[in-house]
């Protein structure tokens, strides 16, 4: 569950990026965040995993109140949220297996459990056969599948993605979307900022439209709208 009430965010340079957002996203929902460039989509999403802090207002993620959350507890929050980026953000010197295993190693899982869990999620993204490859030996779509495997290896309640198909061709983008659907069908909440009009208008989900830091539209099975 994601809850925001009266959330505002002004960056240190004075830019008002979020101008009063109230929202509830229930467990198991699939939500697109759309809107023009500079509208505040990434800021909205970053506040969910404490990459950015709101200037005021209340944010509760999976029962964790971020306004009172100590810095030392941020890793605990991050374990309940998987994050996927446009540019994948894989560690170049680690293999596919190691990139995915990393999140489990830091929480002290046993090597045996790590191996099982990593191979399970690599199987889900159909990359088990490339477990020993390095990121630069993979296509963009494959790299994004690794980053998706990494994001869900902890079994997070929520998966957040900021333009996950932004660097991918249309066919590969659809593959990634089918993977997101499958992850959502297994019960994970998915929140995805996107400029991909075709995907939003075809694979119908809840659409939250952000403009000038405000939610201007919130529709079940909504449309992309008139943005670029
Ligand atoms: N770290 C930052 N410091 C200062 N201003 C920022 C910072 N990050 C974003 N902004 C500003 O906040 C506003 C919202 O930016 P944000 O990145 O959230 O938009 P967006 O909707 O994700 O845009 P895009 O579709 O281009 O990714 C913009 O005016 C942007 O310039
Ligand atoms: Mg953005």
pLDDT along the chain (228 residues), means of 10: 98 98 98 98 97 96 93 92 96 98 91 96 96 98 97 96 96 95 97 97 98 98 94
Is the pTM of the predicted complex or chain greater than 0.85?
yes
Q: What is the pLDDT of residue 160?
A: 97
> What are the phi and psi torsion angles at 108 (to 5°)?
75, 25
Identify which ligand lies nearest to the alpha carbon of 19: 1
> What are the phi and psi torsion angles at 165 (to 5°)?
-105, 10
Q: What is the pLDDT of residue 144?
A: 95
Q: What is the pLDDT of residue 228?
A: 85
Q: Which helix (H) or strand (E) holds 190?
A: strand 189-193
1-70+190-228 has which CATH code? Answer: 3.40.50.300
Pocket lining for ligand 1, CB < 6 angstroms: 11, 13, 15, 17, 35, 37-43
Write a three-state SS string for the chain.
Answer: CEEEEEEEEECCCCCEEEEEEEEEECCCCEEEEECCCCCCHHHHHHHHCCCCCCCEEEEEECCEECCCCCHHHHHHHHHCEEEEECCCCCCCCCCHHHHHHHHHHCCCCCHHHHHHHHHHHHHHCCCHHHCCCCHHHCCHHHHHHHHHHHHHCCCCCEEEEECCCCCCCHHHHHHHHHHHHHHHHCCCEEEEECCCHHHHHHCCCEEEEEECCEEEEEECCCCCCCCC
Strand partners, 3: 24, 60
Q: What is the pLDDT of residue 184?
A: 97
191 alpha carbon – ligand 2 mean position (Å): 13
163 alpha carbon – ligand 2 mean position (Å): 7
């Amino acid at each position: 569950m994601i809850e925001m009430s009266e959330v505002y965010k002004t960056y240190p340079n004075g830019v008002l990026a979020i101008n009063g957002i109230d929202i509830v996203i229930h467990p198991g929902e699939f939500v697109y965040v759309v809107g023009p460039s500079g509208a505040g989509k990434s800021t909205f999403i970053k506040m969910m995993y404490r990459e950015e802090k709101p200037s005021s207002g209340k944010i509760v993620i999976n029962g964790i109140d971020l306004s009172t959350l100590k810095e030392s507890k941020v890793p605990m929050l991050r374990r309940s949220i998987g994050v996927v980026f446009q540019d994948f953000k894989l560690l170049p010197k680690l293999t596919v297996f190691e990139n995915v295993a990393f999140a489990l190693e830091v929480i002290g899982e046993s090597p045996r459990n790590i191996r099982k869990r990593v191979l399970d999620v690599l199987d889900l993204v159909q990359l088990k056969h490339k477990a020993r490859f390095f990121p630069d030996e993979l296509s963009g779509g494959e790299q994004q599948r690794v980053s998706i495997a990494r994001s869900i290896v902890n079994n997070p309640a929520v998966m957040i993605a900021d333009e996950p198909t932004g660097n991918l061709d249309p066919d590969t983008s659809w593959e990634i979307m089918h993977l997101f659907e499958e992850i959502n069908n297994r019960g994970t909440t998915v929140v995805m900022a996107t400029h991909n009009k075709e995907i939003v208008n075809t694979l119908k989900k809840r659409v939250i439209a952000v403009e000038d830091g405000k939610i201007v539209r919130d529709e079940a099975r909504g449309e992309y709208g008139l943005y670029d």
